[in-house]
Amino acid sequence: MELIAEGVEIVSVPAIAQPKHFSDGDRVVGMLTTGEPLEPFEYAEGVRRLLGYGWDRAKVAARLGVSTQTIANHEENLAMPEPVKAAVREGAVSITNARAIVRESGDEAPARLAEARETAHRSGRSRVTARSLNPKAPTALVRRRSEDTINILVSQLAEIAESGDGERDRRNARLCLERLGLTNNLAEVE
C-alpha cells in the first residue's frame, strides 16, 4: 500500500488460488507430494511439520500415500546425530543404512559410521554398504545355499525316519534337527 501511495503502479500481485478451507497442513502435503523429489531430511522435516499441526501418524501416512512405518522412519531420520546426517547428505551412506547404524549403535553411531566408511574405502568403495557395516555377514548367495542345504538335510532325515529301524532312526533324525535348531521341521520326521 505504501508503494501505491508513493505513486508506484502495481500491475499484478502474485498469488496462488486455493480452496476456502485449505490449511497449512494441506500446503505442506502439496509441497511433499508435487514437484521435484525432496532430499530425505527435507521430506522428514515436512513430516515433522504435519505432526506438529496435531496430525497423527496414520493421518499423515494416509495423506502422503505411505505407510505409518515410513512416517516413523522419517521421524528417526530427524533424530540422527549430525555427523550421520552429514554423511547421508554427502552421499557416503544411504538413509536406510544410516538408520540401521543409529538403531544398532545408538550414541556410538558416528564412530561406527566412521569405521564402516574406512572399511568401504579399504574395499575400494566410496559408499558405505550393508557389507561395509557387517563384513562377516553371509551374502544372499551363501544364505540361499545354506537354505538349500538345510532343505536337503531335512528331506534326507525324513527319509531316514521312514525307513530302517523305525523308532531309533526317527529319534536320531529328531535329535539332529533339534541340535541344528530346526525344531519347526520336526513334523516332517514324525
| pLDDT per residue as tens digits for the range 39-78 | 999 999 999 999 999 999 999 999 999 999 999 999 999 9
Which DSSP string do the residues of 83-108 spell out, in sequence order?
A: HHHHHHHHTSB-HHHHHHHHHHHGGG
CATH code of 24-133, in short, is 1.10.10.2830
pLDDT class for 184, splitting at 50, 70, 90? Answer: low
pLDDT, residue 150, reads 73
Rounded to two decimals, the pTM is: 0.60
Half-sphere exposure of 73 (CA within 13 A, CB side): 14
pLDDT, residue 80, reads 96
Instruction: Say if CB 44 and CB 32 are below 8 A apart.
Output: no
Average pLDDT for the chain: 82
Q: How far apart are CA 16 and CA 8, in angstroms?
A: 23
- Give the closest residue to 132 by CA, choosing from 142, 144, 121, 141: 121
- Give the closest residue to 60 by CA, choosing from 46, 39, 40: 46
Look up cell 533424530; give the residue.
79
Q: Between these two residues, 133 and 46, which has the higher pLDDT value? A: 46
